[in-house]
């Protein structure tokens, strides 16, 4: 499992499209939004939680099709399906690798970009907490979507259409945590729901993803 994780991290960093592309997209979004809606701090502060979460979500989406595509093309996916380690475990490791090269860097960079959007001071800690808690769900859901379209030529658009509706609950509760935290309100309910989504996705979706891979590899 550890060898598979290290391999996927190396491939992601060598091939690009993960760490650098996601951060670049996130940065561009944070820079362009003030240019589009105006530099007024009050306006930006109101929309900052939603914008930062939408940016993180879309940045994660950019590299989802690469989770299984390279392994499918070179035949490694067939070997994983017949390897002694469970395919569900391999899927979980690949989702973890995706989070390490996309979700984690985006989480760490988000507070810096929050400055550009005039996020209130009380919201920075909750922004970090919500992204750290919610982005693993994005990677797990994305791995499930990638497993459904593996082998489909130019399946990036189809993957986006499949995954985006599943991302909506995470987006809603993640942005709500930041919004309430920035306003000094109680964040217990949305934070608990966000945690429930993440735990549920991490527990159930590796099995669903493995099933989808087995069907597509027949």
Full pLDDT tens readout for the chain, 218 residues = 777 788 777 777 775 555 678 888 888 988 888 888 877 878 888 899 999 999 999 988 888 888 888 788 777 787 777 778 888 998 999 999 999 999 999 999 999 999 988 899 899 999 999 999 999 999 999 999 999 988 777 777 888 899 999 999 999 999 999 999 999 899 999 999 999 999 999 999 999 999 998 888 87
Among 141, 109, 137, residue whose Cα is nearest residue 194: 137
Q: Structurally, how many domains does the chain consist of?
A: 1
Q: Which helix (H) or strand (E) holds 59?
A: helix 41-62
- pLDDT on residue 96: 93
In which domain, by residue range, is 180 found? Answer: 2-216
The residue written with tokens 């986006």 in the block is 160
- pLDDT on residue 130: 96
Q: Which helix (H) or strand (E) holds 187?
A: none
Among 122, 97, 126, 95, residue whose Cα is nearest residue 110: 126
- pLDDT on residue 150: 87
Asked if residue 191 lies in contact with residue 133, where contact means CB atoms within 8 angstroms, the answer is yes
Cα-atom radius of gyration of the chain, to the nearest Å?
18
Q: How many residues does the chain have?
A: 218
Q: What residues contact residue 3 under an 8 Å CB cut-off, 6+ apart? A: none
The residue written with tokens 């499949």 in the block is 162
Q: What residues contact residue 40 under an 8 Å CB cut-off, 6+ apart? A: none
How many whole angstroms separate alpha carbon 37 and alpha carbon 66? 33
Asked if residue 103 lies in contact with residue 139, where contact means CB atoms within 8 angstroms, the answer is yes
- pLDDT on residue 206: 94
Q: What residues contact residue 129 under an 8 Å CB cut-off, 6+ apart? A: 177, 191
């Amino acid at each position: 499992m550890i060898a598979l994780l290290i391999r996927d991290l190396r491939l992601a960093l060598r091939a690009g499209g993960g760490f650098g592309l996601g951060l670049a997209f996130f940065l561009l979004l944070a820079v362009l939004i003030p240019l589009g809606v105006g530099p007024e701090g009050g306006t930006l502060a109101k929309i900052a939680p939603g914008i930062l979460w939408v940016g993180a979500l879309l940045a994660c989406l950019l590299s989802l099709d690469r989770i299984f595509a390279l392994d499918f093309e070179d035949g490694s996916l067939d070997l994983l399906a017949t390897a002694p380690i469970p395919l569900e475990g391999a899927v979980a490791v690949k989702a973890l690798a995706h989070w390490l090269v996309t979700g984690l860097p985006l989480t760490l960079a988000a507070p810096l970009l929050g400055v550009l959007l005039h996020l209130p001071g009380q919201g920075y800690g909750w922004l970090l907490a919500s992204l750290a808690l919610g982005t693993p769900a994005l990677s797990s859901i994305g791995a499930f979507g990638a497993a459904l379209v593996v082998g489909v030529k130019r399946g990036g658009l189809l993957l986006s259409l499949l995954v985006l509706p599943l991302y909506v609950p995470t987006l809603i509760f993640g942005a709500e945590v930041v919004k309430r935290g920035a306003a000094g309100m109680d964040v217990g309910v949305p934070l608990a729901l966000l945690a429930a989504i993440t735990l549920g996705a991490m527990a159930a979706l590796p099995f669903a993803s493995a099933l989808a891979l087995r069907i597509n590899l027949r």
